């Protein structure tokens, strides 16, 4: 066999590149973790801030914690401070959810919210959103339905914005594809089982011949 060698300069270059990739991956992971901690800390801070009913009067009627004047002012002040409109909306919505869920008042502390996060394994903004949307309590089957047909919200409404199956024809095609995939899987399983049996038979015959 011929002696083959990679160019040492090429190898060195690849190694250097790989080390840089690993550093960037680690840095990104660290950044993501820090961002998650920071975001959840922001939610906790806002929740504690708006929990005092003397400073932020509760809505006396309706299902919302605050009326539109108070909620609008909270979001406006966040936006004026430099928070994007979409993020200000989420900050307000889920901070209010936290106040309601934890029954926070003027004596609320950030540690109360942090304990709630820990108890419910909420480690990111996405998990916080999932908790209050009700998605975290859904079964794998229900989540599949959400993706396929449309997401069922806590209020009983269905959002079809991200739905994959939009018509009866789509559903029928999906059902046919599922049956075909199951049949393929079954054939593969049977082929493996048959191969095991064949190998066992060959082994028996060989053992008898060589006995």
Q: Residue 1's pLDDT band (boundaries 50, 70, 90)?
A: very low
Contact between residue 43 and residue 128 where contact means Cβ atoms under 8 Å apart: yes
Query: What pLDDT shows up at residue 18?
Result: 80
Token readout for 131 is: 């908790």
- Whether the pLDDT of residue 2 is over 60: the answer is no
Note the pTM of the prediction, 2 decimals. 0.61
Q: Residue 195's pLDDT band (boundaries 50, 70, 90)?
A: confident
Least confident piece of the model among 41-50, 59-68, 116-125, 172-181:
59-68
Give the residue, 40 or 146, on which the prediction is more confident: 40
Q: Where are the domains of the chain?
A: 1-133
Query: What pLDDT shows up at residue 135?
Result: 58
């Amino acid at each position: 066999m011929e002696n083959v060698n990679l160019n040492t300069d090429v190898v060195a270059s690849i190694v250097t590149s790989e080390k840089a990739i690993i550093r960037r991956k680690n840095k990104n992971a660290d950044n993501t973790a820090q961002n998650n901690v920071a975001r959840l800390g922001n939610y906790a801070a806002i929740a504690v801030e708006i929990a005092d009913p003397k400073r932020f009067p509760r809505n006396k009627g309706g299902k919302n914690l605050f009326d539109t004047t108070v909620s609008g002012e909270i979001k406006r002040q966040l936006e004026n401070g430099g928070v994007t409109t979409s993020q200000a909306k989420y900050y307000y919505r889920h901070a209010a959810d936290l106040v309601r869920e934890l029954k926070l008042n003027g004596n609320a502390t950030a540690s109360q919210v942090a304990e709630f996060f820990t108890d419910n394994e909420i480690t990111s903004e996405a998990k916080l959103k999932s908790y209050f949307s009700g998605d975290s309590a859904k079964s794998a089957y229900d989540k599949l339905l959400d993706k396929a047909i449309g997401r069922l919200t806590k209020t009983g409404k269905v959002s079809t914005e991200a739905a994959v199956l939009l018509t009866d024809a789509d559903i029928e095609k999906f059902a046919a594809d599922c049956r075909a995939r199951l049949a393929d899987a079954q054939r593969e399983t049977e082929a493996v089982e048959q191969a095991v049996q064949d190998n066992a038979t060959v082994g028996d015959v060989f053992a008898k011949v060589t006995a």
